[in-house]
Chain A
């Protein structure tokens, strides 16, 4: 399969380049949605109950960090693909 793709694309380098481009782009979709949800809902929570801001903020950062990790795995994979 890899060989076929390589022949179709002309060189192996271009396949790796496409893969490199795709891997981070695809890895960023899910976390992008997730981080949007986390911050959006945190803003809503704080707007509705401003005195809960101190309680919401650390939890917001935990959610943000957990979602973001997936995008960063894609970022690391970007450098691992040759």
Chain B
């Protein structure tokens, strides 16, 4: 049975959803070609806004905080209490600036998914999560090597203490591959794939809503169209939750990796 009298429902190609036109002529620096798209500008605006917000809140810190300072202090405290103190402990305060920046920047970029006018999470482009994952990789390796020395750092990873000797046959390759290869990959892919999946899902639901209402030309589909519209709204809320959770997760995992390098298990 064909309910729709109009054209069939089509989902746009996945590449089409994520390709943006270069606003200026692409230019080359070294081997890399740079494209300045609309989203690049959004990203720069976002980072300026975040800087401005933090500077405005903490430029003249008062003992009795004003409204803005109060709000930002609560936000930073949330990062400190829930992420840094829980995972690294008191000596994690050194990493507060980096982790706070990661949390707020990633959250702001995820949040763009539901902001009218942008409506695509900037973290759904692999380059962005890859950068955060690369920085986390460099930081935890540097800290591990500085704290334990290169030899002990690699040895502790390969041969975790307190394990029966025959198990090392299985454990050593797994530990090596998971720590030095899969860890940065999964850290980046987790954020990227979550946000991309969310974006594709929202796109399909909103397209289906407009299709039901305007394009299908079928009374039945128009009659049940409140269902996809309502679902789209609920999913928008759900994506807001996902944006927060993913920003939290990439920050807490960075903190956990830093903690592992600072406090080796033995």
Contact = CB atoms under 8 A, between A and B. Distances in A.
Interface of A: 54-55, 57-58, 61-62, 64-66, 68-69, 72-73, 75-76, 79
A62 B189 contact: no
Nearest to A79: B14
Which 5 residue pairs of A and B lie closest in terms of their CB atoms, listed nearest first? Answer: A72-B193, A69-B186, A65-B249, A58-B86, A69-B190
Nearest to B256: A62
Contacts of A65: 190, 249, 252-253
Interface of A is mostly: helix
Given A58-B252, A62-B253, A73 B197 contact: no
B193 A55 contact: no
B197 A61 contact: no
A76 to B, nearest CB: 5
A53 to B, nearest CB: 12
A55 B86 contact: yes
A8 B176 CA distance: 42
A1 to B, nearest CB: 28
Contacts of B14: 79
Interface string B136-175: 0000000000000000000000000000000000000000
Nearest to B82: A58
Indicate the size class of the contact surface on chain B.
10 to 19
Contact of B190 (A54, A58, A72, A79): A72
B213 interface: no
Contacts of A66: 186
Contacts of A62: 249, 252-253, 256
B218 interface: no
Contacts of B252: 58, 61-62, 65
17 contacts: A58-B82, A58-B87, A58-B252, A61-B252, A62-B249, A64-B249, A65-B190, A65-B252, A65-B253, A68-B190, A69-B189, A69-B190, A72-B194, A73-B193, A75-B197, A76-B193, A79-B14
Contacts of A73: 186, 189, 193
B83 A58 contact: yes
B87 A61 contact: no
Interface in B83-126: 83, 86-87
A60 to B, nearest CB: 11
A72 B198 CA distance: 12
Contacts of A68: 190, 194
B211 interface: no
Nearest to B81: A54
A42 B192 CA distance: 26
A73 B248 CA distance: 20
A79 B248 CA distance: 26
A72 B187 CA distance: 11
Nearest to B87: A58
A70 to B, nearest CB: 8
B127 to A, nearest CB: 15
Contacts of A58: 82-83, 86-87, 252
B105 to A, nearest CB: 18
